[in-house]
């Protein structure tokens, strides 16, 4: 079964950091481009970042550029999102998703930024 499982969310104070992980199974992770997408409470999804299969092409949304860093470890079938300088408005469910079409999604991990 094709599956993505996120972890690493939690409660953090403004200005703090978190590192999210996404572990893939059921497909050859190293063949696929990957993304992070978030969804704030009661809002629509927001695409955040893309990394291609070999990590040599990376894109970010303006809202997170300079604060968040996407990376991957193909040997560990894992995708990461390092989040620094977190703001209250970063509170959301964070999903990893496969491919440019976002054809497979994880169940998400919740990040709450609050003092």
Of the pair 46, 82, the CB lying nearest other proteins is at 46
**Quick one: 16 or 27, whose CB is closer to other proteins?**
27
CB of 67 to other proteins, least distance (A): 15
Using CB under 8 A, list all residues that contact other proteins.
44-47, 50, 59, 61-62, 95, 97, 100-108
DSSP 7-46: E--EEE-TT--EEEEEEEESS-GGGS-EEEEEE-TTS-EE
Q: Which two tokens stand for residue 101?
A: 């079409």
Q: What is the DSSP string of 60-91?
A: E-TTTBTTEEEEEEGGGTEEEEEE-S--GGG-
Residue 44 beta carbon to other proteins: minimum distance, rounded to whole angstroms: 5
Nearer to other proteins, 66 or 115 (CB): 66
């Amino acid at each position: 079964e094709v599956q993505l499982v996120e972890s690493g969310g939690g409660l953090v104070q403004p200005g703090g950091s978190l590192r999210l992980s996404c572990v893939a199974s059921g497909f050859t992770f190293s063949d696929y481009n990957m993304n992070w997408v978030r969804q704030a409470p009661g809002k629509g999804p927001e695409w955040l970042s893309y990394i291609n299969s070999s990590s040599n092409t990376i894109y970010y949304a303006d809202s997170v550029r300079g604060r968040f860093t996407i990376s991957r470890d193909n040997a560990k079938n894992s995708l990461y999102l390092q989040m620094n300088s977190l703001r209250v408005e970063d509170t959301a469910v964070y999903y990893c998703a496969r491919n440019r079409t976002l054809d497979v999604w994880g169940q998400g991990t919740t990040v709450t930024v609050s003092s």
